[in-house]
Chains A and B, each alone.
Chain A
Amino acid sequence: MTPSRTAQVGLALITALLLIAIYGPIGVTVAGAFLPVKGGIIQSFAPSLTAFHTLAGDAGLIRSLVITLAVGAVATMASVTLATALALFTTERGGLHSRVVTVIVFLPFVMPPMVTGLALLIFFRDVGVDRSLLTVTIGHVAIILAIAYRSIVVRLTDLGRSLIEASLDLGASRWQTFARVILPNIRGSLLASAVLCFALSFDETLVTLLLTGTDSTFPIRLWGMTRLGITPAANAILAILLAVTVAASALAIAISQRRHAKDANAP
């Protein structure tokens, strides 16, 4: 039931206000890449690309970006692979296994990053593993696993058992069944959750802060900069990132929409 005209206007107003509040800081950030901005106020209307030039020369910042991308890529691949294996396990065994695995997988996701990060910090110290990019990556995997897991479980459940049974029945090995029947049919979920996982890993700050060694990711660099002032070069990165991430999340939504439409046409 659509709301009345007046209600619509009221709702639209609230929505607009919220969007302004949300995009205000983002706008300031992006503006800061092209114009001198202080306190959220544009000091002078002299747009320039010096920020981007500085960025190209800031080796430390670029290095942290590369590290962030690497950690993100590794964590995403590990999470998606692990999530797929777990999802295959629980959708086949069902029942108690399903419940137990779900609780365990969602624990680090539901708990605040602080708790998960501290748990891993304590654990690494107990087993004598020094903090490094490896520990950071493991931390990321723990947090983002749930996203990939849920998405793949839902897709596998929709797919149903009979495709697997049919494939085995026709003489395919387990690996052939996975590669020829399951993988092609979960591609959408894998992709969508990979994008989401990567995005989350990219911006992960708190767990990274707790588990980082000498190398720092981009969020940690930013964090370090907040005391003295974030350089326009960082603004430049974020302006670029905004463009990329908007495209990425739109892609994720579009992929899942198309999958829904495709399945709606199936029997």
Chain B
Amino acid sequence: MSPGLTRPGAALAVYGLLGALIVVPFLSFLAMSLYSVSGVVIDRSLTLANFARAASDPVLMGVFWRTILLCAGIALVTTLVGYPVALFIAGMRGRARYGLLTLMVAPLVLSYVMKIYAFRSILGGNGLLNRLLMGAGIIDAPSNFFVFNLNAVFLVLAVLLAPFAILPILLSLEKIPAALAEAAADLAASRWQIFRSITLPLSRPGIATALSFTFIMAIGDFITPQMVGGPNGFTFGRVIYSQFGLAFNWPFGAALGVLLSGVIILVLALALALGRVPGGATR
């Protein structure tokens, strides 16, 4: 500990503040999951009953796994679409790249609720999408494929989260030294070979980040499923939220929240482990 800008008592203030703002609330959250509710009163004796109940409820577990599958799918699709877009942007220079980046980033700060609302109306029975599909002759009558179900949730989240897949991949692509591709070309590798053997492996951290970020954002989202999911599109997030609303079972809701957090921490750990560049260099 070297004398400098911070006072000796700073540590106390820092950890006190962080404790009150972040650590204690999260601990309370954890604690709540171990309580139970009787009537409208919360019984603070510790119990694992909530977790047991969650695990043994087939409907709940069904929603849980379906949500995980859905979000994994979203993560996959956004990354699959995001990678080529990131490549495209990475290949641009100067003003064009700058402009494209701004185009990608700008929508992120526009009202989330509004975007979903607009999407919902486009996806509706009389909406733009159906009109286009009918006009193109792909379908004869308006389809309900995207009306108030998990498909709608999938599509909306995939589009809205796309920039979150593109940015990390772009970042990791930019970290790859140009000299490597040049060296490979010098050794007579084709463009495709260069991509497959150099670009792709070295962008692994970016891919891992893209997959994990989009998954985590999707699985934690409540607004989108609530707005476009309808009764057929129930996600785990909506179940949790309802526990804090009408159902008024905070301990149970907290337990489900802990479960969700567990999944997220697992995904983060996976991303960290699998997201290493092979050989460990050039981070």
A residues with CB within 8 A of B: 1-4, 7-8, 10-12, 14-15, 18-19, 21-26, 28-29, 32, 37-41, 82, 85-86, 88-89, 92-93, 97, 101, 104-105, 107-108, 110-116, 118-123, 126, 138, 141-142, 161, 164-165, 168, 174, 177-178, 182, 199-200, 202-203, 205-206, 210, 218-219, 222-223, 226, 230, 234, 238, 241-242, 245-246, 248-250, 253
Contacts and interface: CB of A to CB of B under 8 A. Distances in A.
B119 A8 contact: no
Contacts of B129: 40
Given A40-B121, A120-B25, A199-B109, A165 B4 contact: yes
Given A40-B121, A238-B114, A253-B101, A1 B250 contact: no
A26 B110 contact: yes
A8 B18 CA distance: 48
A118 to B, nearest CB: 5
A89 B111 contact: no
A11 B254 CA distance: 44
A97 B11 contact: yes
Q: What's the interface size class on B, roughly?
A: 35 or more
B51 interface: no
Interface of B: 1-2, 4-7, 10-11, 14, 17-18, 21-26, 28-29, 32, 81, 84-85, 87-89, 91, 98, 100-119, 121-122, 124-129, 131, 159-160, 162-163, 178, 181-182, 184-185, 191, 194-195, 199, 216-217, 219-223, 227, 237, 240-241, 244, 250, 253-254, 257, 260-261, 264, 268
Contacts of A85: 14
B114 A222 contact: yes
A35 to B, nearest CB: 14
Interface centre among B18, B100, B217, by most chain A C-beta atoms within 10 angstroms, is B18
Given A118-B254, A177-B5, A138 B21 contact: yes
B11 to A, nearest CB: 7
B264 A111 contact: yes
Contacts of B6: 88-89, 92-93
